[in-house]
Structure 1
């Protein structure tokens, strides 16, 4: 079943925070490569984490490639070929966990993620189009070649970056479905400062969905209300905790699951794909699946 067929059948349940699931399994992800490190060092753990979400009701699993970029691998002392290998492995491992029960979305993290300093939550307006294209092009080409069911462009703070990635996907894989989600904050704005309504317009009608991820759940309603998207919304907020880029940790505030009434409100506002991000483990996805079914 394709993502379009799943959307036609009703609300699609996404997975949760892969890093959260891996940390629950005892892994320290504080290094530059975050969860991508385990693609090479502990691939069976990646499979197990993905599978925990599928068992909880996720219909789409998102690969462990968010932090896997060529620039990031170079900073960590690895080479471009090793990055390519891990990008391909991320899709293969997700597919192994998903089986016939879920689709695989290849994660494309933002430019700021390779800095490992929380830039995806503040923005980087001085990074120009050429640098963004150079950062994303080879990774997108490699992920597309690995054969995912769709692409998940995630945690984008800048409209220009969304525009560049959409442009590249149109060149590299015009028939491959994708969504774009922004990191967002209060005032119905993405974290780079632009109104979310403008962000939704940048993505346009070629995507299967546009929305927000790794955003505090209390901001989602005003974000969705603010925009008139030409495609369905996708939302997978974090637990509502605060991220400390210096220590690479989250505060213990927030909730590991969303109330059923909250999930249904998002559905009423046009969210056709709902899941969780950092702080939302398998139990939180199970509660979303129950709310959607209810």
Structure 2
């Protein structure tokens, strides 16, 4: 089992980092990157074997087109540097995942623009590349964007770092089968990515209740595609169901009272039985949740500050 870190945004807000819309977690990269480094350290101390760069909001949707054009690559490099600094300060072997976010807005499959994938993703990839161990295309709402990122990395990343792809799932209504927020089925998504031979397929930024359904489908699909080497993973958020017109970062949404660290661990145990070997948390899942996962799955004693 590999333990991944939890959500960055709320931890930044708790520590008094500059934090507002539209910049969201990018504002800390701009004004107080050392707080980002310290959040990474907290997750490492909680037992995370993988931390994720704070590059999620470094897109025009959040920082604006002008700032993106001028600063995106440098800010991405800073995000990678802060993650690496945290690992160095903790003296661990923690891996750094380079977050490639949804390029046109969280949950917004309808805003996908194939003609501008390269323009937005390239500076992020170039800035992060020297500092990360592998790539994590996360909170992907549709198949086409994840495929486009895979294809772009195949030309830009000369080191051929592994790629993990994580999809966000529709969780606002009961569905016949698990689906991405685009309406595409999990079966279609997993089959497509198995054909691309990605290193891992995960599900994130949605309720744990829909993730367990998706893992069943994913495991079956990988078996059918003779791709058991592709790892499965999960990192849910702590939000109530999100409507179709929601945007993941509209504000600091209320989180569910029932997803305490022990309750979240119950879900994680189930995910493990369904084939997940990469487990962490998304929005609203903090160091205390990661500590509970680490203590159970790895027996690691944590040293949270």
TM range (shorter): 0.7 to 0.9
1:111 aligned residue: 103
- Distance in 1 between the 2:45 and 2:20 partners? 27
Once the two structures are superposed, the pairs formed by residues 66-215 of structure 1 within 5 Å of their partners are 66-69=56-59, 72-75=62-65, 77-99=66-88, 100-101=91-92, 102-113=94-105, 120-124=106-110, 127-144=112-129, 146-173=130-157, 175-186=160-171, 187=175, 188-204=178-194, 206-215=197-206
Unaligned runs of 5+ in 1: 1-10, 114-119
The secondary structure found in structure 2 opposite 1:111 is coil
- Distance in 2 between the 1:71 and 1:89 partners? 19
1:39 aligned residue: 29
- Distance in 2 between the 1:27 and 1:142 partners? 23
Confirm or deny: 8 A CA contact 2:17 2:32 kept in the other structure.
Answer: no
| 1:283 to partner: Cα distance | 0.2
- Distance in 1 between the 2:102 and 2:291 partners? 28
The secondary structure found in structure 2 opposite 1:29 is coil
| 1:112 to partner: Cα distance | 2.7
The secondary structure found in structure 1 opposite 2:203 is strand
CA deviations 1:113-170 (Å, max 9, x no partner) are: 3xxxxxx22421x6342223333233223322x3311111110101110110011111
Confirm or deny: 8 A CA contact 1:218 1:240 kept in the other structure.
Answer: no
2:280 paired with 1:283: no
The secondary structure found in structure 1 opposite 2:202 is strand
Once the two structures are superposed, the pairs formed by residues 203-282 of structure 1 within 5 Å of their partners are 203-204=193-194, 206-227=197-218, 228-229=221-222, 230=227, 231-242=230-241, 245=247, 247-254=250-257, 255-257=259-261, 258-282=263-287
2:10 aligned residue: 20
Confirm or deny: 8 A CA contact 2:203 2:236 kept in the other structure.
Answer: yes
How many residues align structurally? 275
The secondary structure found in structure 2 opposite 1:262 is helix
Unaligned runs of 5+ in 2: 300-305
TM-score normalised by the chain length of structure 1: 0.86
The secondary structure found in structure 1 opposite 2:131 is coil
- Distance in 2 between the 1:213 and 1:150 partners? 17
| 1:70 to partner: Cα distance | 5.1
Residues 265/247 of structure 1: CA separation in 2 closer, same or farther (3 Å cut): closer
- Distance in 1 between the 2:35 and 2:82 partners? 10
> Once superposed, which parts of structure 1, at least 4 consecutive aligned residues long, lie more than 4 Å away?
242-247
- Distance in 2 between the 1:182 and 1:200 partners? 10
2:40 paired with 1:50: yes
Residues 256/45 of structure 1: CA separation in 2 closer, same or farther (3 Å cut): farther
